[in-house]
């Protein structure tokens, strides 16, 4: 019988491919169709974006994320060459993503390409100021964690660093009109670090997330300067308003505003368009759905202890 | 001295390999032995399974997870060819995993191979109906998140999508008797997304997990249709009953039942074989260990605020 | 116009590279300088460490993490050869990391190389006893999870296993003076598993973390024998004391002591230099900042339920 | 001194990059300029063509050059999918090569792309008849070499097989107007096998080259059916006519015509537009520059022997 | 039109795949069928053999072809581990090749596997004596070429070295019954070096080929000790005897016998079952088809010179 | 029995590794020892040199051998960055090779490193003048081959181009004292093209080799300007003088001098320290061992024809 020795004669195994291929086609094209207007569109590629992000990190911090063997005489050659190849790759991803923008969808292919080039060129011109913001974040991390021993450690070993770099890059692309690529970047950061920052969120300088796994920052959140978060903090939406058909209403401001100099400890859940006033401290595991005035201290009720005796 | 210039002459370094190799062998074979019955068994390979999962995703959603350049004339060739190679690879992993099934362990090699082929062929035949379930999940995500702008975004950028696709594939293999491979798949999903769904759990259609990091769904959990979860939700077991020797009793139903149309917000911890009644809403950070009737609203006590004045 | 057809003529796109390269150089060297004393130092490489960790896992558990096709006659050749190449690679990473140690920074290159070799050789000699500890951890996992069906499943499918192996390797390097490499290893573990254990923490044998996403264990935490943790448990610091300049004081003991035989359930947050007494059980989502005597049961207050009727 | 320990501190080496880069630019743009009209054109890629050739071989002989594990139910999926991806890649290389065609050079980018697609589609339609010719070649090899034991051996182990397959593919592209890509393919064959067949040559069916290293067949050579060549045979041009400026005249018929059923042994050098009549045999190392009537036997003069006595 | 912008919209190109796939299937299965008895057999893989040859070279000469960083304490671990993995891979290729042996063809799969293991094990046991022969070859090269400066140069830079190593390995497999694998190895050597030695040839120790491109040594050639060849030497067959059907007679002795201490200069063509007597010297470009007594000097007639006057 | 099902249970095969490893060690260390003075030296790596050669070609001809997507604004960044990484890699290979230079062998490791850096830096400074020579070679090829249609075709499709580029690079390294690396480069060129040019040979500008397979140019050959060679031309040594012990005398001038404007046709064998006078033409397959005055025409005697009648 054909299946007897799969190791010795794997060529003989019969999988009934034809009916499965046929049923999958039916599912794709008829019964469970999700393809937009029946056309195949080329999608942005997550693995291409991973390479692009490595390129951008190398451009921003070449001695930490670039290549070994860089010297003062060679570093600008490396930065310029890496920038050139990275921007070309990014431009192609931006072009693919534009097809999913409502207002760009109908444009002819050549115009999409032109627009992608313009977005990418503008993005490139913002890299120096993005670097300035990121340096403020690194210094905030160094000052904010007693365990940190050097800026190098913060660049290499802190998941929050990766999450914030990727967020700042994604946010710039988001504002320039490349939302799908920006979302893919935030998903890559999420997968690498467990930190989920929507690229639409607005975050000021000197921002630090320690540990970070489980942090969620929603699309319309607004965060000031010198804010510090710990793991599992949620800046989320409360229940979503639905329209009369039961569909959720999209796009309205629904996430918190966190003012300057706020610290939010691990596991705090802060929901809705509320404001955490400047200089406040929110304790761990707190559940918070209302405004908090500047300088507040919010903490959870004690746990019930049941000691043996 | 031999060690002086490791850069210039790395060949000269002496590591005292022999005693370390000898002590590790002693540890393996005598003092800290974990090998089953002293025999070396070939284990399923996680990196092979990563490739297999990419293949299966490409088969299910070829325009999103397949290759660039697919067209209406070429897509079925791609699906059929990818399915063929993926099933061959999967069959080998299933065969390796069967050695760890209590009832298959003693079978001769050829019978294990035959059984692996049968499991894999049956699994292939279920792919179209798995796709149907997944499309219901995608639509639930699109309807459940105000920030979602397209089905493409949900397929490409949502960790919950990956977690649910991998879960549905793993669950099918689990039911067909390939438990170890199923568990490996759930671990791959966990590592990629921070979402940990045991492949033994039963989950109905139109299921959506938003953000998702830290979600844990236990082996005997049962989830209905149209359920929505947020990050850090636990559907776990309470304290585990132990037998008279102190060993935990394995396999009994010990995780929650969540009925249709339930929403569970971030950080809720729901433990034990309790039932969350149809249409209930469980608030964030809630700790819940008892039944909840249909239509309930469960929320956490307020945080203690300590405002400055 | 040059940009019209990026697909057809990508070579013509102009990115304005020169001003961006120039401004990035200014940012690096003048306005937002982070380079230590203006010199370029070669940093440890995360991707090299990923390979080294795979090598060490293969050396410790060759039949689970090694290569297919190992036999009783070949296994020691594999272990010895893998150990040799892995130690050479590790030694180079340790050398790079030493430049960031305050007391090693000034040493000449050759002495750094020698010290790296000595650290690596000493580390190698500890591998058999590290393996003994890890086997106790595996057995604790098998006994502690009713869903576990074999030691193989625990080695292959449990993120907690990866986190604990990597922690024990990193901790050994940390004590030998290779702190930056140790931190990189813990970050790799964090990224793979969502579990963040600082390599400075002290953890006794038979340690088990189930699910694990979101677990954080701080630098000065001390954990006894037979301790079991679930996902999202934090053993962290409370507010950090700052000196008169407002800078946080670094290095003092500020994380909990967890004695033998303690179980801590999902989401518990335990902060500060407190002691959880032997044999205690800490419930899920608990917030705890004070000592707990041996044998305690600590659990959260009930959620407020709002049932319909 | 900076260069003292390249192993230990490779980052410090100074190469004087700036003047070398500057002088190379001068050489490129001023003193030794070879760029056509000062514009950068994207060239066909040899490594891409290597992949394309593997794809085409797999399509023509899937069980010999395709993937392991093909079965009767899966082989057409494999052929169709490989064909699709290979043609897309080929089309891009053809497009790049067209820029070097005198008459296509001035076309706008979009028209070049259209023409490349038409050439590629026409090429694809010829693949079945190319396969028929190649099967006649394989049978000629099996009949012509007493050492051959199977058609599989001829497909896998004979450099002449590779050279003839690549020639027939290149010749088809050459006739369709993709000369530069055709020449690249012949160079790949040359590098792999030591056999150099210009894609412009015309070669009938049942053609066999044994051993083959050093065989050269020129651009305007014409070879009939059932011809057999051995290693180091040259079918070349004699001295080249030059015009009054001393430049060689390009493109005229200047290589031999070899009629049906001719055998040419190792090292024979046949030059100029001469005709080797049907059924002739040309001996090894022969030097031949004049017509040979049908049925001739041409052989070299004896070597002078100087035996000891 | 769909084809207008292949760069911008490559997904839309239509290749007419279906008729090409259909015609290729017809060609494969009906009109130009070459498949043996209609079954698909798994063929040995050339790329797998390339890896196997690298492994065997590393086992034979670990400090030249093995890995950097080998030391006296680690070299045997490397050799043993490389040997183990290489033999496993070789055994699989031998198994696949056995299906093409006339007498093994009918055996059940398991017996083919057993036989492949026996052949591979016996082959392994011959490696030390193969190494001894190869060392004699290296010494002959060092003594035979005035340009050679070290044994290392001969191992790394001489194509003749690769050709002779691969020949000796292939010859051992050929004698053990693995002819197809042996032929594949000789083809790999041919492609790398331009030297074509049939694995059936018998060659004594201290053999040296200088430069080597174009050397052909036929299946039944017999070469003694201390023989030296230069590039483009052919030890071939004369015209092949055909049977009454016109088919060539296979397998009879038809290539030269070269006795000990013979030197054959570049381009000599020696054909037929003739004997070159011990100690003879054959000049460059000589054509030789008759026996030569021991101690002969054979050279070509002078070229005709046409000097200007 | 253990070997029965290699496919199903490959882990069980026993190869008798221990005695083979033991005998190979005996062969290496006692019976067939080739290791220099018993020490393990790190050898230059051929695969590293392949990468280095690609880097150097990209630096010399960036639009032909560099990366796609180069533009006028980016090309110098690419050249500078590629030069920097390539020189670092080359320097390491040069250092390894120096250990094999008689006069460098005894130097301490740090001095070898310094010398390698100096050689590499000097080599870099010669790249612009090497490019000038190569451009003269390209122009000679374009003028010398009626089939050539563009400089791009000559750069991409002519094996002679690769051979001459690699020769000119190797020759520069040879003169700077890096002989072993130079020889490795010539072997790489030989393997790719079938053209074997010893790096010690001296070759003037405007040099062209057409087809080229089988060309051999010896260590002490001297070639003038505007020389053209065809395939299988040998510029070799005659019999080698031996000293009284029978060992060949190494290093003396023993290969031909070819003056300016000479053409040598396919298969000519020219041996010994003879001079081919300026402007001569040497016919195909000629055997030549004596001086030829300027302006000579040398051709082979006619083949003996045996026409049927």
Residue D6, pLDDT score:
31
Whether the per-residue pLDDT at F7 is higher than 60: the answer is no
Question: Which three-class secondary structure state does DSSP give residue D40?
Answer: coil
φ, ψ dihedrals at B232, nearest 5°: 65, 20
Q: Which residue has the tokens 């002691």?
A: C275
Cβ density class D182-209: b for 16+ within 10 Å, e for less: bbbbbbbbbbbbbbbbbbbbebbbbbbb
Contact assignment for A146 to C183 by CB distance below 8 Å: no
Whether the per-residue pLDDT at E11 is higher than 70: the answer is no
Report the C-alpha dihedral over residues D31, D32, D38, D43, rounded to 10 degrees.
-160
Q: C76 vs chain F: nearest CA distance in angstroms?
A: 11
Contacts across the A-E interface (CB distance below 8 Å): 24
Contact assignment for A17 to B84 by CB distance below 8 Å: yes
Q: F9 vs chain A: nearest CA distance in angstroms?
A: 8
Q: What is the mean pLDDT of residues A270-296?
A: 94
Q: Are F117 and D9 in contact (CB under 8 A)?
A: no
Contact assignment for C11 to D109 by CB distance below 8 Å: no
Contacts of D242 by beta carbon, 8 Å cutoff, 6+ apart: D248, D249
Contact assignment for C112 to D40 by CB distance below 8 Å: no
Contacts across the D-F interface (CB distance below 8 Å): 214
Query: Chain D contacts of A17, Cβ < 8 Å?
Result: 73-74, 77
If phi > 0 it is left, if psi is from -120 to 50 it is alpha, else beta; for residue F109 that is alpha
Contact assignment for D69 to B88 by CB distance below 8 Å: yes
Q: How far is residue A53 from each of residues A58, A61, B308, E190, measured CA to CA in Å? A: 8, 12, 44, 44
Contacts across the D-E interface (CB distance below 8 Å): 213
CATH architecture of the domain formed by C42-194: Orthogonal Bundle (1.10)
Determine which of C8, C73, C77, C79 to mutate to test the interface with E (most E C-beta atoms within 10 Å): C77
Interface pTM (ipTM) of the complex? 0.90
Q: What is the DSSP letter of D292?
A: B
* DSSP string for residues in chain F: -TTS-TTT-GGG----HHHHHHHHHHIIIIIT--SGGG---PPP-HHHHHHHHHHHHHHHSHHHHS-TT--TTTHHHHHHHHHHHHHHHHHHHHHHHHTTSTTTTTS-HHHHHHHHHHHHHHHHHHHHHHHHHHHHHHHHHHHH-TT---HHHHHHH-HHHHHHHHHHHHHHHHHTT-HHHHHHHHHHHHHHHS-EE-TT-EE-SS-EESS-TT-EE-TT-EE-SS-EE-TT-EEE--S--B-TTSPBPPSS--S-EE-TT-EE-TT-EEESS-EE-TT-EE-TT-EE-S-B-TT-EEEPPPPEEE---
Q: How far apart are CA A164 and CA A150, in angstroms?
A: 18
Residue C301, pLDDT score:
60
Least CB–CB distance from B87: residue in A15, A32, A232? A15
Least CB–CB distance from A307: residue in C32, C216, C293? C293
Least CB–CB distance from F284: residue in D10, D20, D271? D271
Q: What confidence tens digit (pLDDT) does each residue in E171-226 have?
A: 999 999 999 999 999 999 999 999 999 999 999 999 999 999 999 999 999 999 99
Q: Which residues of E touch C (CB under 8 A)?
A: 5-10, 67, 69-71, 73-74, 76-85, 88
Residue A246 CB-density burial (10 A; 0-12 exposed, 13-18 middle, 19+ buried): exposed
Whether the per-residue pLDDT at A37 is higher than 80: the answer is no
Q: Are A193 and A160 in contact (CB under 8 A)?
A: yes
Residue A301, pLDDT score:
60
Q: Which residues of E touch B (CB under 8 A)?
A: 10-18, 21, 68-71, 73-74, 77
Q: H or E segment at E236?
A: strand E234-236
Query: Chain A contacts of B62, Cβ < 8 Å?
Result: 28
Residue B251, pLDDT score:
73
Q: D84 vs chain B: nearest CA distance in angstroms?
A: 6
Query: Chain B contacts of F9, Cβ < 8 Å?
Result: 42, 109
Whether the per-residue pLDDT at A161 is higher than 70: the answer is yes
Query: Which CATH number fits the domain B214-309, given the four candidates 2.160.10.10, 3.20.20.140, 1.10.630.10, 3.40.640.10?
Result: 2.160.10.10
Query: Chain B contacts of F109, Cβ < 8 Å?
Result: 5, 8-9
In this structure, how many other beta carbons lie within 10 angstroms of the beta carbon of residue D290? 12
Contact assignment for F300 to E304 by CB distance below 8 Å: yes
In this structure, how many other beta carbons lie within 10 angstroms of the beta carbon of residue A19? 11
Nearest CA in chain F to B111: F8
Query: Chain A contacts of C32, Cβ < 8 Å?
Result: 131-132, 135
Q: Are A5 and E109 in contact (CB under 8 A)?
A: yes
Contact assignment for E40 to D110 by CB distance below 8 Å: no
Q: Which parts of chain C fold into alpha helices (H)? A: 17-26, 46-60, 62-65, 75-98, 109-125, 127-144, 151-157, 159-175, 179-193
Residue C35, pLDDT score:
76
Residue among A295, A289, A214 at smallest CA distance from A262:
A295
Residue F177, pLDDT score:
95
Share of chain E above pLDDT 70, in %: 91
User: Half-sphere exposure of residue A277, counting CA atoms within 13 Å on the CB side?
Assistant: 12
Q: How far apart are the first and last CA of chain A?
A: 70
Contact assignment for C42 to D5 by CB distance below 8 Å: no
Residue F165, pLDDT score:
98
Q: Are B97 and B45 in contact (CB under 8 A)?
A: no
In this structure, how many other beta carbons lie within 10 angstroms of the beta carbon of residue A39? 11
Query: Chain D contacts of A13, Cβ < 8 Å?
Result: 71
Q: Which residue has the tokens 């997304």?
A: B193
Do the domains D214-309 and D42-194 match in fold?
A: no
Q: Are A147 and A205 in contact (CB under 8 A)?
A: no
Q: Are D241 and D249 in contact (CB under 8 A)?
A: yes
Least CB–CB distance from C214: residue in A64, A132, A213? A213
Query: Chain B contacts of C304, Cβ < 8 Å?
Result: 298-301
Q: Residue B299's beta-bridge partner residues?
A: C304
In this structure, how many other beta carbons lie within 10 angstroms of the beta carbon of residue F3? 19
Could you list the mean pLDDT of each consecutive 10-residue stretch along chain D, which spans 309 residues? Answer: 33 85 92 76 92 97 90 94 96 94 77 94 97 97 90 94 98 97 97 97 98 96 98 88 74 93 94 96 89 92 46
Determine which of A11, A34, A290, A291 to mutate to test the interface with B (most B C-beta atoms within 10 Å): A34
Residue E36, pLDDT score:
67
Q: Are E266 and E211 in contact (CB under 8 A)?
A: yes
Query: Chain F contacts of C74, Cβ < 8 Å?
Result: 15, 17
* DSSP string for residues in B242-290: B-TTSPBPPSS--S-EE-TT-EE-TT-EEESS-EE-TT-EE-TT-EE-S
Whether the per-residue pLDDT at B309 is higher than 70: the answer is no
Whether the per-residue pLDDT at E10 is higher than 60: the answer is no
Q: How far apart are the first and last CA of chain E?
A: 70
Nearest CA in chain D to E19: D125
Residue E100, pLDDT score:
86
Q: What is the mean pLDDT of residues B239-247?
A: 74
Question: Which three-class secondary structure state does DSSP give residue E235?
Answer: strand
In this structure, how many other beta carbons lie within 10 angstroms of the beta carbon of residue B51? 14
Query: Chain D contacts of F125, Cβ < 8 Å?
Result: 16, 19-20
Residue C4, pLDDT score:
28
Contact assignment for F78 to A81 by CB distance below 8 Å: yes
Q: H or E segment at A287?
A: strand A287-288
Residue D304, pLDDT score:
47
Beginning with the edge strand found earlier in the chain, give each strand of the sheet holding A234-236 in spatial order.
A196-197, A216-217, A234-236, A269-271, A287-288
The secondary structure of chain D in percent helix, strand, coil, rounded to multiples of 5, reads: 45, 10, 45
Domain ranges, ordered by start, for chain A: 42-194, 214-309
In this structure, how many other beta carbons lie within 10 angstroms of the beta carbon of residue C279? 16
Q: Are C196 and C186 in contact (CB under 8 A)?
A: yes
Contact assignment for A68 to D11 by CB distance below 8 Å: yes
Token pair in block for residue D286: 């022969």
Contact assignment for C285 to B287 by CB distance below 8 Å: yes
Higher pLDDT, D306 or A278: A278
Angle between the N-to-C axes of helices E179-193 and D159-175, in degrees from 0 to 180, rounded to the nearest 10: 60
Higher pLDDT, D4 or B134: B134
Residue A36, pLDDT score:
67
Residue B307, pLDDT score:
40
Least CB–CB distance from F71: residue in C11, C68, C77? C11
Q: How far apart are CA C79 and CA B218, in angstroms?
A: 37
Residue among F283, F278, F256 at smallest CA distance from F268:
F283
φ, ψ dihedrals at D176, nearest 5°: -80, -5
Q: What confidence tens digit (pLDDT) does each residue in B186-238 have?
A: 999 999 999 999 999 999 999 999 999 999 999 999 999 999 999 999 999 98
Residue C36, pLDDT score:
67
Q: Which parts of chain B fold into alpha helices (H)? A: 17-26, 46-60, 62-65, 75-98, 109-144, 151-157, 159-175, 179-193
Residue F250, pLDDT score:
73
Give the angle D10-D14-D20 at the CA atoms, nearest 5°: 130
Q: What is the mean pLDDT of residues E127-146?
A: 95
Contact assignment for E117 to F6 by CB distance below 8 Å: yes
Residue F5, pLDDT score:
31
Contact assignment for C84 to E77 by CB distance below 8 Å: yes
Q: What confidence tens digit (pLDDT) does each residue in E265-293 have?
A: 999 999 999 999 999 999 888 889 999 99
Residue A214, pLDDT score:
96
Contact assignment for B266 to A46 by CB distance below 8 Å: no
Task: Give E12's pLDDT tier (boundaries 50, 70, 90).
Answer: low
Q: Residue E264's beta-bridge partner residues?
A: E229, E282
Interstrand relation of C275-276 and D202-203 (parallel, antiparallel or unpaired): unpaired
Higher pLDDT, A240 or A41: A41
Residue A192, pLDDT score:
95
- Which residues of chain C, if any, have pLDDT below 50? 1-11, 304-309
Residue C207, pLDDT score:
98
Contact assignment for F285 to D283 by CB distance below 8 Å: no
In this structure, how many other beta carbons lie within 10 angstroms of the beta carbon of residue D257? 18
Nearest CA in chain E to A6: E109
Q: Which residue has the tokens 């070859």?
A: E137
Whether the per-residue pLDDT at F22 is higher than 70: the answer is yes
Nearest CA in chain C to B300: C303
Contact assignment for C42 to D112 by CB distance below 8 Å: no
Q: What is the mean pLDDT of residues B78-82?
A: 97
Token pair in block for residue F145: 């081959």
pTM given for the model? 0.92
Give the angle F207-F212-F215 at the CA atoms, nearest 5°: 90
Q: How far apart are CA A220 and CA A230, in angstroms?
A: 20
Residue B31, pLDDT score:
87
Neighbours of chain C (3+ CB pairs under 8 A): A, B, D, E, F
Q: What is the mean pLDDT of residues F113-123?
A: 96
Residue A69, pLDDT score:
82
Q: What is the mean pLDDT of residues E88-106?
A: 88
């Amino acid at each position: 019988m054909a299946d007897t020795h799969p190791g010795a004669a794997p060529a003989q195994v019969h999988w009934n491919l034809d009916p499965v291929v046929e049923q999958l086609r039916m599912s794709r094209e008829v019964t469970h169709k999700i393809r937009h207007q029946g056309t195949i569109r080329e999608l942005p590629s997550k693995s291409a974006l991973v390479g692009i992000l490595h390129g951008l990190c190398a451009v921003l911090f070449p001695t930490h994320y670039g290549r070994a063997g860089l010297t003062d005489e060679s570093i600008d050659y490396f930065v310029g060459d890496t920038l050139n190849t990275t921007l070309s790759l990014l431009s192609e991803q931006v072009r693919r993503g534009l097809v999913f923008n409502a207002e760009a969808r109908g444009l002819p292919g050549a115009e999409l390409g032109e627009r992608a080039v313009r977005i990418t060129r503008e993005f490139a011109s913002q890299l120096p100021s993005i670097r300035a913001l990121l340096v403020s974040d690194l210094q905030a991390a160094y000052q904010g964690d007693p365990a940190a021993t050097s800026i190098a450690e913060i660049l290499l070993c802190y998941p929050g660093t990766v999450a914030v770099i990727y967020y700042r890059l994604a946010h710039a692309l988001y504002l320039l009109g490349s939302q799908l690529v920006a979302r893919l970047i935030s998903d890559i950061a999420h997968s690498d670090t467990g930190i989920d920052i929507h690229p639409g969120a607005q975050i000021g300088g000197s921002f630090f997330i320690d540990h970070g796994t489980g942090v969620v920052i929603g699309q319309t959140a607004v965060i000031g300067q010198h804010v510090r978060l710990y793991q599992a903090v949620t800046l989320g939406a409360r229940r979503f308003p639905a329209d009369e058909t039961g569909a959720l209403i999209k796009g309205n401001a629904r996430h918190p505003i966190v003012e300057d100099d706020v610290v939010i400890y691990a596991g705090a859940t802060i929901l809705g368009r509320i404001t955490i006033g400047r200089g406040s401290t929110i304790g761990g595991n707190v559940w918070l759905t209302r405004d908090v005035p500047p300088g507040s201290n919010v903490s959870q009720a004690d746990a019930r202890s049941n000691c043996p005796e």
